Each structure stands twice: as C-alpha cells, then as structure tokens.
Amino acid sequence: MIRLENISLSYGSRTILRDVSLHLHSGELCALIGRNGAGKSTLLRALTSHQNTIINGTPQHNLSAEQLAQSIAIVTTERIRIENLLVEDLVAMGRAPYTNWVGHMQDIDREIVGKAIKAVGMANFVGRDTSSLSDGELQRVMIARAIAQQTPIILLDEPTAFLDIPTRFEVCRLLADLAHKEGKCILFSTHDVDAALPVCDSFAIIENEGLQKLPTKEATSEIERLFKR
C-alpha cells in the first residue's frame, strides 16, 4: 500500500533517520512511537512528500497533486477552530479533491460527509460551530474530515495528544475500526502506548536514527525497554 525505501531524513543539520525503510499494507493499523524529537512527525511528512515514497506501486513524485490528495489524508496536531465554520463544513473540506473549481458539493458528497460524521460518532454535533468544540470533539471532526477525503491511507500526528484517558482509548478504537472494517492503511504517531497496544497490528519504533517495524506481539518487549525503564 505505502512504502518508504531507504530514506535518510534530517532536521536542519541534525540527522534524524539514516537509511530506513517502512512497508505498510491496507487494513493495517500501525502506531509510530519514539521519544520526543526522534523524528515521528518528520517521518509522517516524508510519507506525503519524499521522492522515495511509493504509493500503491507508484512513486510519489509521479502522482499529481490531486491523485496524491485522493491517496493520502492527514490529521495534524493543529486544532482548527474557526468561527462560523460548522462541523459539517469542516468535514466537507475533505471533499475538496473531488469538487469543481468553486467547491460545489453534490448529493453524493453530502452523503459521504454525513457518513463520515456518523462514523466518528459526531452526528449530534451537526450544525455546531467548530469554535465551540472541545479538544476531543474537534479531534473526531478532524478524523471525519480525513475519512471524507476517501483515501486508502490516513496518517495522523499524535491524534491522542491533549485528550483525556477515556477519549484516547476511544480514538484508538475508532482508528482500529477504520483499518479493520474499511480496510484503510493507518499510521499514527503516539506516546499513548497503553491505548495503542490493544488495537494496533504493528508498531514502528524509531530509536537511534533507526526504524524497525514489529508485529504488536513482538513489539511489547521493545516498547517496554524504550518507555518503561
């Protein structure tokens, strides 16, 4: 589904990752973990922009901006709260790669938006202003926006940050449903190992400029070593 081949990444003059590769397939939920500054966000950025990224067999640079937008959706750490922008308007932004020059929404687009809102459990929030939402509610809406973009791949940068513990588990379960029921390929960076462990298929661990991906069963001892010493 998505492959990174032999990538080295640096942040300014500092090398973060040296000659790493990563393969993810559809229906896979993978958590990206590593210490602060290890390069999780940088790696996520590379997945949408690096020339060595191969999406469904096609190198990233051979895809048009529109094709790329129809392949990968992202959820960043930024919280979008805009006055007068309603929940459904924010989710409808995800339809941008499919609508015409002025962004006209057709019935099918509205239907997709409605389903995406329902999928994240925010149906009761239709008509609400995004500037009135809590962090957890807004995070769900941002995920709904990514769903509405109808991409086989979703990348999320710390989707559980700033959320309370029950909501962290809920967001992880939501991502698991998307991967396992809809067959999406989902990679998300997180520090919430406890919420990620029960639902993830695999863990990508960044340490000392290296990256290794392990199935969840084999990852636990590594995670223990990394996080709980």
Partner 1 sequence: MRNHSTILFTLLAVLCAVLFVVDIAVGSVAIPLREVVSALFGSGSEEVRSIVLDIRLVRAVVAVLAGAALAVSGLEMQVLFRNPLAGPYVLGVSAGASFGVALFLLGAPILGIVISPTLQSIGTAGAAWIGAAVVLMMVVALSRRIKDIMVMLILGMMLSSGVGAVVEIMQYFSNEASLKSYVVWTMGSLGDVTATQLAVLTPIVVVGLMMAVATIKPMNMLLAGERYAASMGLNISRSRTLILTSTTLLAGTITAFCGPVGFVGIAVPHIARMLFRSADHRTLLPATILSGVAMMLVGDILAKYFVLPINTITALMGIPIVVYIVTRKR
Residue pair 81/130 in contact (Cβ under 8 Å)? The answer is yes
- Contact track, partner 1, 43-72, x by CB under 8 A: -----x----------------xx-xxx-x
Residue of 86, 186, 187, 90 whose CA lies nearest to 145: 90
CB of 229 to partner 1, least distance (A): 34
Q: Which long-range contacts (CB under 8 A, 24 or more apart) does 20-23 make?
A: 20/210, 20/211, 21/211, 22/204, 22/211, 22/213, 23/213
12 sits near partner 1 (criterion: CB under 8 A): no
Q: Which is nearer to partner 1, 76 or 212 (CB)?
A: 76
106 touches partner 1 (CB under 8 A): no
CB-based contact 72:44 (threshold 8 Å):
no
**Minimal distance, residue 160 CB to partner 1, in Å:** 19
Candidates 102, 208, 217, 228: give the one binding partner 1 (CB under 8 A): 102
Pairing of strands 14-24, 2-11: antiparallel
Counting contacts by CB under 8 A, is residue 161 touching partner 1? no
Burial 93-107 (b: 16+ CB within 10 A, else e): ebbebbeeeeeebee
For partner 1, the closer of residues 24 and 44 by Cβ is 44
- Does 82 bind partner 1 (CB under 8 A)? Our answer is yes
Which listed range, 3-11, 24-32, 75-83, 169-177, lies at the site for partner 1 (CB under 8 A)?
75-83
Q: How far is CA 195 from the centre of its chain?
A: 16
**CA dist., res. 2 & res. 20, Å (int):** 14
**Does residue number 101 form part of the binding site for partner 1 (CB under 8 A)?**
yes
- Nearest C-alpha neighbor of 6 from the set 16, 17, 21: 21
89 contacts partner 1 (rule: CB under 8 A): yes
Which of residues 99, 191, 201, 212 is near partner 1 by CB under 8 A?
99
Asked if 94 touches partner 1 (CB under 8 A), the answer is yes
Site for partner 1 (CB under 8 A): which residue of 18, 26, 80, 212?
Answer: 80
**How far is Cα 16 from Cα 8, in angstroms, rounded to an integer?**
8
Unique residue bearing structure tokens 């993830």: 200
Whole-number minimum distance, CB 37 to partner 1, in Å?
Answer: 20
- If one asks whether residue 107 binds partner 1 (CB under 8 A), the answer comes out as no
Contact positions vs partner 1 (CB under 8 A): 48, 65-66, 68-70, 72-74, 76, 78, 80, 82-85, 89-90, 93-94, 96-97, 99, 101-103, 149
